[in-house]
């Protein structure tokens, strides 16, 4: 039986402590005198010890940190004695937004059958623990592994070699061996998993969007995709697959509001029937203002704590909150987001800030009739959250928690800078299509002059990162419409001046855009600190990682969520 764990040592040659550093000594030794090396190891079936890695090695996947040794231990347990050597380490593709588990292993025998099964087991093990698919590198022997004299394989060295392409030939050889062997039998859907063919097909779409699902994951027609690790990019991938299969345009918001196969099947039936009715009767698309609008998107509808209401940034969409909601899952509270009006055919844009605030406050109270309330707004949404909080107070309700994510109270000066072209370019920056320096340079060249619509779209498309554009899967027309919504929101605030007060406010500050401030310190002291004029108590400031457009991104969302949970707890929300 193979046993894995942390390596601790003691004996005559081992030092007894750090010189004049009792704290470090206490951290380095167990109470009974064993020195914690920080290494992980495995004792094989005949008693040999192999060092595997470092205890503190982590893999950061979309902002969630996983212990490399935990991943490796699970993969080793899953493969059993089928691998001669195995190491797990993080790697990151050149244009990737996150790290990925990478597994390099040497099979006991490089045979013409069995590689697919081993490959599938590795995928299932990684998915069950991390929710993400791994890179897998099968090697014929140990000759190419960077081993020390103790037989230890350096994860850092493996990562460096892998990212530099030194294993590319081995990787192609392994892929060829897998193709030659053919895929293992794929488990089909059980008859009782789906009520009809539509649900069964959607379950298959879900599986394909995530490539492979481990057998250990309970996944049926009522399982929300967020529970099995879907990210915003996975949702976009799912949308493109369904669009292609059904020949229709499925709004992403429909996937968010109907995250299970059963709920989505019903929603798609209504969408298809509506589109066919329009086509069969030669009807025109709905006119602006003729479609019922519901701003609320339930990201989590279960929990015993005060619900958290998240208000969209200036781009109007709520996909940016998907990762945050996943990180807040253990906080035991419902999480709702408010999405701007104007995205769907037949929806008019808001006429004023008052119009938007009244609709949002009414929608919130329809779902949560009474306080205490917890509100937070990202960027532009910070202003809206402030106004909604005041409105709820005038209705006699308590707002126990209010947060602004990197927005000062005075924003009119900035809103006046954002015509349609700047809104489009900043939308490209928000989506990760272009870099901030390119946007700043382009806007400086324009000198405040608006570009023709098609020319601006073509300019952004030409400058955009091709791989990211394909990943998002958006058309120029759709991006242009999105910019219409964003510009409509910004234009409402060109004369906005804050007034009145709220009971409390928490301000989460990230590195500002260069056009807003030269440093975080200037941003806080000159701009964000002005919230003190609109709060009846001293505002609380929370420093978070990342920049204005990346503070909720994969690299920072875990720490951001931790800060948010602490802040809400301190406020009693």
DSSP 289: T
Decide if pLDDT at 279 tops 70: no
Return phi, psi of residue 375, to 5°: -125, 145
Looking at the structure, tell me whether residues 225 and 127 fall in a common domain: no
Q: Is the pLDDT of residue 570 over 90?
A: yes
Mean pLDDT of the chain, nearest integer: 85
Q: Containing H/E element for 274? A: helix 261-280
Q: What is the pLDDT of residue 551?
A: 93
Our CA dihedral for 447, 451, 455, 461, rounded to 10 degrees, sits at 60
pLDDT greater than 70 at residue 285: no
Q: pLDDT band for position 303 (50/70/90)?
A: confident
Confidence of residue 512 (pLDDT cuts 50, 70, 90): very high
Arithmetic mean of pLDDT, 114-118: 81
Tokens at 66, concatenated:
């996983």
The answer to whether 139 and 225 are in contact (CB under 8 A) is no
Q: Which residues contact 33 (CB under 8 A, 6 or more apart)?
A: 10
Which residue, among 102, 101, 96, 103, has the nearest Cα to 79 in the 3D structure? 103
- Three-class SS state of 299: strand
In a domain, 365, yes or no: yes
Same domain, 176 and 216: no
Label residue 68 exposed, middle or buried (CB < 10 Å: 0-12, 13-18, 19+): buried
Q: What per-residue confidence (pLDDT) applies to 217? A: 59
Please compute the mean of the pLDDT values over residues 52-77 and round it to a whole number: 77
Q: What is the pLDDT at residue 277?
A: 52
Return the structure tokens found at 543. 């420093």
- Domain limits at 247? 197-284
The CATH number of whichever domain residue 565 belongs to comes to 3.40.50.1820
How far is the CA of 207 from the CAs of 14, 189, 223, 391, in angstroms?
52, 11, 12, 44
What's the pLDDT at 186?
Answer: 40
Question: In the chain, what's the furthest Cα-to-Cα distance?
Answer: 90
Do 68 and 138 belong to one domain? yes
Looking at the fold, whether 62 and 128 belong to one and the same domain comes out as: yes
How far separated are the first and last CA of the chain, in Å rounded?
Answer: 49
The three-class DSSP label of residue 58 is strand
Same domain? 479 vs 536: no
Instruction: Give the burial string for 337-367 (b: 16+ CB within 10 Å, else e).
Output: bbbbbbbeeebebbeebeebbebbbebbbee
pLDDT of residue 51: 73
| Residue 392 and residue 473 in one domain | no
In a domain, 16, yes or no: no
Give the integer Cα–Cα distance in Å for 297 and 256: 7
d(CA 14, CA 37): 11
- Chain centroid offset of residue 392 CA: 31
Question: Is the separation of the CB atoms in 329 and 300 below 8 Å?
Answer: yes
Looking at the structure, tell me whether residues 297 and 436 fall in a common domain. Answer: no
10 Å Cβ neighbour count for 234?
A: 20
Task: Count Cβ atoms within 10 A of the Cβ of residue 529 and give its class: 0-12 exposed, 13-18 middle, 19 or more buried.
Answer: middle
Buried b / exposed e over 14-27, threshold 16 CB at 10 Å, is eeeeeeeeeeeeee
pLDDT, mean of residues 351-377: 94
* SS3 assignment, position 104: strand
Q: What is the pTM of this model?
A: 0.62
Residue 14 lies in a domain: no
In contact, 545 and 559? CB cutoff 8 Å: yes
Q: Do 275 and 307 share a domain, yes or no? A: no
Tell me if 222 is assigned to some domain: yes
> Which DSSP string corresponds to 508-545?
EEEEPPTTT-SSHHHIIIIIGGGGGGGBSS--EEEEEE
CATH of the domain at 106: 3.30.300.30
Enter the tokens of residue 3: 């046993």
In the numeric block, which tokens belong to residue 470?
Answer: 């394909």
d(CA 2, CA 279): 64
Q: What is the CATH number of the domain that holds 265?
A: 1.10.1200.10
Higher pLDDT: 102 or 260? It is: 102
- Flag whether 3 is in a domain: no
pLDDT band at 185 (very low <50, low <70, confident <90, very high): very low
Q: What is the reported pLDDT for 70? A: 82
Is the pLDDT at 287 greater than 60? The verdict is no
Nearest to 568 by CA among 390, 406, 408, 399: 399
Residues 384, 424 within the same domain: no
Token pair in block for residue 485: 């919504």
On whether both 220 and 306 belong to a single domain, the answer is no
Q: What is the pLDDT of residues 211-262, one digit of tens each?
A: 555 555 567 888 888 777 777 777 888 888 898 888 888 888 888 888 888 8
Same domain, 270 and 293: no
Do residues 114 and 171 both lie within one domain?
yes
Answer yes or no: is 560 within a domain: yes
Q: What is d(CA 448, CA 367) in angstroms, rounded to the nearest whole number?
A: 43
Residues 54/155, Cβ–Cβ less than 8 Å: yes
Query: Last residue of a domain, which of 284, 313, 329?
Result: 284
Is 273 a domain residue? yes
pLDDT at 302: 80
Alpha carbon 480 to its chain's center:
24
Q: In the chain, how many domains are there?
A: 4
Mean pLDDT of 395-415: 95
Picking from 156, 181, 206, the residue at the C-terminal end of a domain is 181
Q: In the predicted model, is pLDDT for residue 184 greater than 60? A: no
Domain boundary among 230, 252, 284: 284
Residue with tokens 């193979």: 2
pLDDT at 192 over 60: no
Give φ, ψ of 377 to 5 degrees. Answer: -130, 140
**pLDDT of 290:** 47
Question: Domain for residue 10, yes or no?
Answer: no
Catalytic annotation, residues: 379
């Amino acid at each position: 039986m193979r046993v894995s764990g942390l390596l601790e040592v003691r004996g005559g040659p081992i030092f007894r402590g750090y010189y004049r550093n009792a704290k470090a000594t206490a951290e380095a030794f167990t109470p009974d005198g064993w020195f914690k090396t920080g290494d992980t190891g495995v004792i094989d079936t005949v008693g040999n010890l192999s060092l595997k890695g470092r205890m503190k090695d982590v893999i950061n996947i979309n902002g969630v940190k996983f212990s490399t040794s935990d991943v490796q231990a699970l993969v080793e347990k899953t493969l059993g004695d089928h691998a001669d050597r195995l190491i797990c380490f993080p790697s990151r593709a050149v244009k990737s937004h996150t790290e990925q588990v990478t597994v390099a292993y040497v099979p006991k025998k490089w045979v013409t059958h069995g590689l697919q099964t081993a490959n599938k087991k590795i995928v299932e093990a990684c998915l069950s623990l991390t929710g993400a698919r791994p890179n897998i590198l099968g090697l014929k022997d140990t000759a190419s592994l960077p081993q020390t004299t103790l037989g230890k394989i350096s994860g850092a060295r493996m990562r460096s070699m892998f990212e530099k392409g030194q294993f590319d030939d081995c990787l192609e050889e392994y892929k060829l061996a897998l193709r030659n062997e053919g895929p293992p039998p794929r488990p089909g859907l059980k008859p009782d998993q789906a009520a009809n063919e539509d649900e069964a097909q959607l379950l298959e779409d879900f599986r394909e969007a995530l490539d492979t699902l481990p057998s250990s994951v309970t996944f049926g027609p009522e399982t929300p995709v967020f529970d099995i690790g879907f990210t915003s990019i996975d949702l976009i991938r799912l949308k493109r697959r369904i669009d292609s299969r059904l020949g229709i345009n499925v709004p992403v918001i429909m996937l968010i509001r109907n995250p299970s196969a059963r709920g989505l099947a019903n929603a798609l039936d209504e969408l298809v029937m509506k589109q066919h009715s329009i086509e069969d009767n030669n009807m025109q698309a709905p006119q602006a203002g003729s479609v019922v609008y519901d701003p609320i998107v339930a990201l989590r509808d279960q929990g015993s704590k005060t619900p958290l209401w998240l208000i969209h940034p200036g781009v109007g969409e709520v996909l940016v909150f998907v990762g945050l909601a996943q990180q807040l899952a253990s906080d035991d509270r419902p999480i709702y987001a408010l999405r701007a009006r104007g995205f769907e055919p037949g929806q008019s844009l808001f006429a004023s800030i008052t119009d938007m605030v009244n609709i949002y406050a009414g929608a919130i109270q329809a779902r949560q009739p009474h306080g205490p309330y917890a509100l937070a707004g990202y960027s532009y949404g910070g202003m809206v959250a402030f106004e909604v909080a005041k409105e709820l107070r005038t209705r006699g309700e308590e707002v126990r928690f209010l947060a602004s994510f990197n927005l000062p109270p005075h924003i009119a000066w900035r809103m006046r800078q954002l015509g349609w072209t700047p809104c489009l370019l900043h939308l490209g920056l928000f989506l990760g299509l272009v870099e901030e320096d390119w946007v700043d340079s382009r806007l400086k060249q324009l000198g405040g002059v608006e570009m023709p619509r098609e020319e601006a779209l073509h300019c952004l498309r030409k400058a955009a990162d091709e791989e990211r554009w394909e990943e998002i899967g958006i058309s120029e027309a759709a991006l242009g419409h999105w910019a219409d919504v964003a510009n409509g929101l910004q234009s409402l605030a060109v004369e906005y001046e804050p007034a009145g007060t709220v009971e409390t406010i928490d301000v989460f500050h990230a590195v500002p855009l260069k056009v807003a401030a030269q440093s975080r310190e200037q941003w806080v002291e000159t701009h964000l600190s002005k919230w003190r004029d609109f709060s009846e108590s001293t505002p609380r400031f929370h420093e978070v990682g990342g920049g204005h457009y990346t503070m909720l991104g994969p690299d920072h969302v875990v720490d951001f969520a931790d800060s948010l949970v602490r802040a809400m707890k301190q406020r009693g929300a």
